[in-house]
Amino acid sequence: MPAFIDSSTFLRYDELNRTDTKYHVNKEARIMWDAIVIGAGISGCSVARELARYKLKVLVLEKGHDLCAGTTRGNSATVHAGYDPDPGSNKAIYNVRGSRMYEDLCKELDVPYMRNGMIVFATDEEQLKEVERLHNVGNQNGVRTEICDRKRILEIEPDMGEGVIGGLWIPDSGMVCPYNLVFAMAENAARNGVEFKTGCAATEVKRGDDCWIVSTPDGDEETRYVFNAAGTWADKFNNMVSKDTFKIIPREGQHLILDRDLIKYTKTTICQTPELLPTGGHTKGMGLMPSVDGTIILGCNADDVEDPDFSDNTKEGIDKIVNYFEEKWHFLPISKHVPKFPRDAVITAYGGSRAHPDRDDFILGEPEDAPNFINLAGIESPGVTAAPAIAIDMVKILVDREHPEINTDYKPGRVIKKAFRTMTPDERRAAIAEDPDYAKIVCRCEQVTEAEIRDAIRRPVGARSIGAIKMRLRAGMGRCQGGFCSPRVLEILCEELGKTPLEITQSGGHSNILVGKACVENGGND
């Protein structure tokens, strides 16, 4: 059974007549999964990876066309140190614990990670009081923080603008590419037997006889445990099975991306004290984040929306970010070299909805009236940081109860080559000698080769759309936003998947790139 299952070609276990499991499977008796994970974002894939350490039959259901299609793909990529969550809350406990895991986690999965630190700057005495409060909260959470005067700020960021009189230095804040991490986690889980089914939404969860029944468009699946990592939809599934209900409020957050030419002017993540920001206290506020990929991320706004799947950019959201940075630009180190906010350096915008819970904290574990149904809900900021630590404790609920056999064949990490754009000249020559397709640059902006694109399609839980290639490799994320490389990416997808150009989509569903032939040969009229 392949680790990646396209919804259009999914084979049910009862069609396989398998006998290599403690649950006898034949035409008359279908498989009972040990665990079904609903959602393949950072929370779901963290759980899948932890479950893979045991000899369990695990299925991950994702309604999006690809992994990381919801909340995870729309965040700021910040690995928060944990200086600001309320002490004693789930958010604080798992933020700090997860942050301390990141260096080793990313090393094992071969994912770029940068501990660049964060400056929360102040421009008046009231903001300095907020700096002191955050410092005290950080200390209670066990996070290293330092109250800085202007002299100390300039030691960290020499070009910090006039008007910054002090701030808070959080040295353990970092940056990661969240979707790169999710793909790596999924590949590791798939490598160890976890099965993924994308383009297949869980529609209902209900009790069966000694199991849970998870309904999908392809039929019902039976499982002993459900891990509810459904992001902005997590409340719907919990409220189907438990009287202990809660509500998820989708909260839109948009970001702008600045051209990589500006990355040389800053090294730390920088934001202002939160109270005076236009986000109304919903987030840590507007920030400037140098990405691990060499661009700069600006954002985000925080506006409540009705649609849990809302991920569009809005003029209002973009204007809020632009107006804020036009006003505050002179405080930032870049302003010494680029005096005014560089509108022409904005290459794209992206957004997504966060899962803000009405309880204002992560909602974790089993409801009392729904045993074996495990919530990972309300995982908003700092969810990317906290998810790997949360997954360990949530999977422990199953392990402590069922005592599954350890997977002694578990393979850590994943096998992947360095990105061509990061290779040394000698490494590039060696890669080309091994595979001549490394010499064929498809995306000139991001230096992505044909060899890398083909590999991304062939990998476990591989790419099936132009957007999926973009997320995995950055092909199309550069200055031209895919204007030159997209046609060739489409051709390679056709070649690898055996599809026609009319079947290839931007992001699954009905997002077809081409919808018909513009002309036919021999003067036809069709």
Just list the catalytic residues: 80
CA–CA–CA angle 194, 200, 203 (5° rounding):
110
Q: How far apart are CA 489 and CA 503, in angstroms?
A: 13
- DSSP string covering 256-315, please? EEE-GGGGGG--SEEEE-GGGSTTTTSSS--EEEE-TTS-EEEE---EE-S-TT-----H
Q: How far apart are CA 39 and CA 230, in angstroms?
A: 5
Furthest C-alpha separation in the chain:
77
Tokens for 429, please give them. 């020559």
First to last CA, the chain: 42
Q: Which phi and psi angles does 101 have, rounded to 5°?
A: -85, -20
**CA-wise closest residue to 504 among 474, 464, 475:** 464
Q: How far apart are CA 231 and CA 353, in angstroms?
A: 9
Tokens for 420, please give them. 């061509």
How would you classify the pairing of strands 113-114 and 118-122?
A: unpaired
Tokens for 459, please give them. 């990998």
Buried b (16+ CB within 10 A) or exposed e, 180-190: bbbbbbbbbbb
Element (H, E) at 249: strand 248-258
Q: How far apart are CA 460 and CA 162, in angstroms?
A: 50
- Contact (Cβ atoms closer than 8 angstroms) between residue 485 and residue 491: no
Element (H, E) at 90: helix 90-109
**CA-wise closest residue to 66 among 41, 38, 35:** 41
**CA-wise closest residue to 297 among 182, 175, 181, 421:** 175
Q: Among positive and negative, which fits the CA dihedral 146, 152, 157, 162?
A: positive
